[in-house]
Amino acid sequence: MSILQTRLCELLGCEYPIIQTAMGWVTGPEIVAASGNAGGFGFLAGATIPPDEIERDILKTKSLTDAPFGVNFHMYQPNAADIVDLVIKHEVRAVSYSRSPGAEMIGRLKEHGVRCVPTIGLPKHAIKAIQLGADAVTVQGGEGGGHTGSVPTSLLIPQVIDAVDGKVPVIAAGGFKDGRGLVAALAWGADGIAMGTRFLMAKESSPPDATKQRYVDCNNPSEIIVSKAIDGLPQRMINNEMLRRLEKANPLTKFIIAIGSGLKFRKHTGASLTSLLKSAIAMAKSGDITVTQAIMSANAPMIIQKAMVDGQPGSGVLPSGQVAGVIGEVLSCKDIIHGIAAEAEERLKVLAAMTNNET
């Protein structure tokens, strides 16, 4: 048994406390299975595809691995209830989400043994998530990719750990790529780490090589900036051609682009226009965003698709944690996970030896 075994490993059934997070258009069955086979735990991206494709991907993942895995979704996507049904039907180990389902839906998941692992950005959100029934919380600091806050990971994680007070495992996210980072997270009191960008830059992730190369070539963390150009909310992305275009666009142009993206998203997912509008209104009522921002949230998936599916990294946006600026290579999931575990175990041995020498 690895010395890295934590209660997170027990909760999710993985060998190492290393989580491959879900990313739309990026984390399909191949990378989720590869993460599980290497001893980590992977989440399928379920927020950007129709229910029949979710079921297809769940079954394909099961055909590629016997390891447990999870599915990601958010409460306000039109097919949320369908995803919950599929997760229960196929006995998926866990779900992750950023916009929390209601207590009733969480209760149904937990009744069937599905672990609920929300991603949160503030201590108060962690407390609320636990009250609703979360089994663990992923805490993303400001260095993380996509929608993100402003508090650095090194400050946020200890705050949340103090607020949670041991009630559930805490997973640290935002800026992790190696064993040193895992040891740092464990030292703060976290039970493991979650990584998106490091796994996007994996051989088994879905994006074409041309898109992955843009991440490899981004060798300066300062090039990975936070922008509100997509939907009015802060998102961290590589500063590329499309982002610069959106930054210069006026509000009306951005809204028109978003409406077009929303219609494409509706066609892609099979959702009705009415259901998308209802989802946008529900999102606005539940949080600190406007209806316009909620409508514009459909902008991101389709613009991201340009890079992640079509292989046009200059014509789409590139969500990324700052850590992409210091990675510089594409590795297999096995090499990523085993490399992190080996380095972390070595660092822990060095620290233990230092402690023994002092005594």
In a domain, 2, yes or no: no
What pLDDT score was predicted for residue 98?
84
Asked if residue 91 and residue 201 are part of one domain, the reply reads yes
pLDDT, greater one: 140 or 302: 140
What pLDDT score was predicted for residue 272?
56
In a domain, 45, yes or no: yes
Asked if residue 136 and residue 265 are part of one domain, the reply reads no
pLDDT tens, residue by residue, 89-104:
999 999 999 877 788 8
In a domain, 1, yes or no: no
Asked if residue 35 and residue 74 are part of one domain, the reply reads yes
CATH of the domain at 103: 3.20.20.70
Asked if residue 232 and residue 148 are part of one domain, the reply reads no
pLDDT band for 251, please (50, 70, 90 cuts). Answer: confident
Asked if residue 98 and residue 144 are part of one domain, the reply reads yes
What pLDDT score was predicted for residue 259?
66
Distance in angstroms (rounded) separating the CA atoms of residues 192 and 170? 7
Average model confidence (pLDDT) across the chain: 89
What pLDDT score was predicted for residue 186?
98
User: Does the reported pTM lie above 0.85?
Assistant: yes
Average pLDDT of 167-187? 98
The residue segments making up the domain with residue 254 are: 210-322
Asked if residue 178 and residue 60 are part of one domain, the reply reads yes
Asked if residue 347 and residue 249 are part of one domain, the reply reads no
What pLDDT score was predicted for residue 101?
75
Average pLDDT of 47-73? 93
Asked if residue 265 and residue 338 are part of one domain, the reply reads no
pLDDT band for 76, please (50, 70, 90 cuts). Answer: confident
